[in-house]
Structure 1
Amino acid sequence: MDEIILETPEDFNFSECLVYLNRSELECLHRVVEGTLIKLIPCLGQYYLIQIIPMKDNQALKITLLTGVIRDYLQVEAIKNYVRTWFDLETSLTSFYELGKRDSIVRYVTERYRGLRIVKIMDLFEGFCWSVIGQQINLKFAYTLKKRLIETYGESITFQGERYYLFPTPERIACLRTDDLKDLQFSGRKAEYVTGIANLFCQGALDETQIKHMESYEMIKEKLLKVRGIGHWTADYIMLKCLDVKEAFPIADVGIHNAIKGIMNLEQKPTIAEIELLSKFWKGHEAYVTFYLWRYLYD
């Protein structure tokens, strides 16, 4: 088996990231096993099943290829870059943690979850689909729908008796009728949204590189909001999880409201106006504040 060592920044806690990744037993795109992480990833036109293990007191990750063979330097760098991006390792958290010294809410979560990184969704199409699937249903049923979609239409391999999946491609989903997704218990509207988004990807109307090169949060959000099925919450979620937009802030998110209520010991959830006032101090760090507030809810 080939092994790759990836050095990690000082403020990185792999175990904290695993808490997020292990939040549902229905997750089928990766597997957390005794403090290690196994995932099938696409890389330079090939698929690799990788296992990630922390080492050197979180100063490095050991990436073991369970399937596939490394043949050149480009493959090594591509796999390293995949993992770096997945765990947002190139972002400095220094200014975010400095903010915690001045803001009581940020201080509360950063003291408890220091080293947590935003765990990205590496496939933009998957990010769009997941944000649509999760609308107006509970998290368990959202995972159920995602699992059905992946196991029905995603590519997979089998290793040591376990099956590992990739998220379905836009090309695969664009070929479906809405009734195909309704058979998986998607609502008619969500089936239309998902197949419609798949078609936009196939047509090149949603191009990740083009979107990432837009100049501002406002421009990206305007682009996303034009997509049928994408509202303000889903647009901010996609920017936070897929597009590395640090200002992304789904302010209407119920989880954010509940986390602030709990941290501040409030009798009722804060209003949008109250959250807007609090978040004035979070400028440029909204995405990380959001992710850390979500982490609070897992406790």
Structure 2
Amino acid sequence: MISASKDMPVFNFSAESESMIIQVPKYFSYKETLHYLTRSTQECLHQVVSGEIYKVLVIDQQKILVRIKESGHSFLELKIVDGSDKSESMHRKAAEYTADWLDLTTDLDPFYQIANNDPILGSLTRKFEGLRIIGVPDLFEALTWAVIGQQINLAFAYTLKKRLVEAYGEKHVWAEQAFWTFPAPETIASLSAENLRELQFTGKKAEYVIGIAKLIADGKITKENLLRDRNVKGIEEKLLSIRGIGPWTANYCMMRCLRISSSFPFGDAALNKALQNAGFKERKLSREEMEEIFLPWSPWEAYAVFYFWRSLSKE
């Protein structure tokens, strides 16, 4: 399934407060969103302060710092707190980005109908109701993050990302706090593998990330071109043709960037552990065994995976 049913939330601009009010969809939990966004103290691309989310966005080649907070039970308030353009138009573009990032456009009714009739998945959706797949809208960031995460634990992956961002991203200072943007592919494309090895990337990962940066900087791979292929296998094959991208990396990107609800990162160690905790075989499951387990949840495998991952994290 290329994507679930999409429906952009209602945006209402408040001239009085100079902010955009975003109506959140059914099955949305701000609490679960914050839980995911605060899972690492090494995260450097957004900050959560007193329950409010701060993030620098680059829109129309302009940097803006937005603050997102809950406004009542059914709304979010987005405000540009720093930037030269605080117009309604810029607020709307920032709200559209936020809707993609926080997965506010997906109709989860069909997924919850399946989950509510399944004892295993249903126990997770009831416990974590409103959890959505927090995305990585930028293709270069998504692929780089997926490559960084190959064969290492999550804590060290965040450390490597932080080093990369602080070395080659752009810094934005507001209220004596530093905020960062992810490095541009053109910046990384100009580096040598040794530059990234200095950050403790392996030689192979350094080559992979630089290679991906060059492909994207040259326009040979774009998010739009990938999504033009309406066949999931076709998209996966295009991603697999990139050096350094295997099945896990491709499907992780398809899940969190391309929003393909049937994507499935086979071979994921954390997913295997979560399935064991749920009562499945206490050993590494084969791809065929995982496919059989997830078959009743088709075409919502990506969401099932996300809920199993959530089951591993502390409250």
Indicate whether 1:214 and 2:214 are aligned.
no
Coordinate RMSD, CA, aligned: 1.5
Alignment-derived partner of residue 45 in structure 1: 61
- 1:9 and 2:25 are equivalent in the alignment: yes
Supply the distance in 1 between the matched residues of 2:150 and 2:283 (Cα, whole angstroms).
23
1: CA distance between counterparts of 2:206 and 2:307? 31
Q: Which secondary structure state, in structure 1, belongs to the residue aligned with residue 147 of structure 2?
A: helix
Partner Cα separation in structure 2 for residue 164 and residue 283 of structure 1? 39
Distance 1:35 1:64 in 2: 15
Instruction: Choose from 164, 174, 179 the match for 1:164.
Output: 179
Task: Give SS of 2:226's match.
Answer: helix
The residue that corresponds to 2:82 in the other structure is 67
Identity %: 40
Per the TM alignment, residue 137 of structure 1 is displaced from its structure 2 partner at its CA by 1.2
CA distance in 2, matches of 1:269, 1:198: 33
How far is the alpha carbon of 1:12 from its aligned partner? 0.6
- Residue type matched to 2:207 in 1? E
Corresponding residue pairs, total = 298
Is the contact between residue 128 and residue 238 of structure 1 (CA under 8 Å) also seen in structure 2? yes
* DSSP 3-state at the match of 1:100: helix
CA contact (8 A) 1:105 1:264 kept: no
The DSSP-based 3-state class of the residue aligned with 2:44 is coil
Which amino acid in the other structure matches residue 16 of structure 1? E
- Distance in 1, Cα, partners of 2:177 & 2:109: 40
Q: Which has the higher contact order (CA 8 A, sep 6+)?
A: 2
1:26 aligns with 2:52: no
2:25 counterpart letter in structure 1: P
- 1:67-216 equivalences under 5 Å are 67-70=82-85, 72-216=87-231
Of 238, 242, 247 in structure 2, the residue corresponding to residue 223 of structure 1 is: 238
Inter-partner Cα distance in structure 1 for 2:278 and 2:302? 18
**Counterpart amino acid of 1:148?**
R
Quote the Cα distance in structure 1 between the aligned partners of 2:70 and 2:283: 40
Distance 1:144 1:87, change over 3 A: same
Q: 1:279 aligns with which of 274, 281, 294?
A: 294
Letter in 2 for 1:189: K
TM-superposed deviation, 1:274: 2.6
Shift of 1:156: 1.4
Q: Which runs of 5+ in 2 are unaligned?
A: 1-16
SS in 2 for 1:150: helix
Cα distance in 2 for residues equivalent to 1:71 and 1:149: 30
Task: Name the SS of the counterpart of 1:168 in structure 2.
Answer: coil
Alpha-carbon shift at residue 44 of structure 1 (Å): 2.3
Q: How much does 1:184 deviate?
A: 0.8
State the TM-score, normalized to the length of structure 1: 0.96
Is the CA contact 2:28–2:129 (under 8 Å) kept in the aligned structure 1? yes
1:42-72 superposed Cα distances (whole Å, 9 cap, x missing partner): 1222111111111211x01011222025454
Query: What's the CA shift string for 1:114-143, capped at 9, x where partnerless?
Result: 111110102110011111111111111111
Give the superposition deviation at 1:145: 0.8
| SS at structure 2 position matched to 1:63 | strand
Superimposed CA distance per residue, residues 260-289 of structure 1 (whole angstroms, 9 cap, x where no aligned partner): 111227544544333221111111101111
